[in-house]
């Protein structure tokens, strides 16, 4: 019973986290359409990427016991891919001065 409950809550948490990670898609479709980042900042996406890396590391069997945190690893791997795509879109369409400030960040 306990394992099933943990998996069910993990799946519900994955659904909520996927919605959270996918929320910037509306913003980035606008960036792709206008081919301009306007006044958007890339810092929240960099922080979210680091957060995904840390939680994916936490869920690995090296750190946790076995694969009991597989749901944590899976959603954060998806988060890493989404955040990397958001950052690459940002860097593609950002003005040169904004790129320089984030690269030296």
What CATH number should be reported for the domain holding residue 38?
Answer: 1.20.1280.290
What is the C-alpha separation between 98 and 22, in angstroms, rounded? Answer: 24
DSSP string of 19-68?
HHHHTTHHHHHHHHHHT--TT--SHHHHHHHHHHHHHHHHHSTTTSSTTT
Query: Cβ-count burial of 99 within 10 angstroms (0-12 exposed, 13-18 middle, 19+ buried)?
Result: middle
What pLDDT is stored for residue 67 in this prediction? 80
Q: Give the pTM.
A: 0.85
Domains held by the chain: number: 1
Domain containing 59 equals 2-103
Phi, psi torsion values for 16, nearest 5 degrees: -65, -40
Burial 67-78 (b: 16+ CB within 10 A, else e): eebebbbbbbeb
pLDDT at 104: 59
Residue range 9-68, pLDDT digits in tens? 989 999 999 999 999 999 999 999 999 998 888 899 999 999 999 999 988 888 878 788
For residue 105, the model assigns a pLDDT of 55
Which pLDDT value is given to residue 64? Answer: 79
Hey, what are 46's tokens? 């960099």
What pLDDT, on a 0 to 100 scale, did the predictor assign at position 96?
Answer: 83
């Amino acid at each position: 019973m306990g394992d099933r409950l943990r998996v069910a809550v993990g799946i519900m948490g994955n659904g909520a986290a996927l919605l959270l990670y996918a929320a910037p898609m509306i913003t980035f479709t606008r960036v792709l359409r206008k081919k301009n980042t306007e006044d958007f900042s890339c810092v929240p996406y960099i922080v979210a990427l680091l957060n995904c890396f840390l939680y994916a590391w936490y869920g690995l069997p090296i750190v946790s016991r076995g694969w009991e945190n597989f749901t944590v690893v899976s959603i954060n791997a998806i988060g890493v891919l989404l955040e990397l795509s958001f950052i690459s879109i940002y860097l593609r369409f950002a003005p040169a001065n904004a790129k320089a400030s984030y690269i030296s960040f």
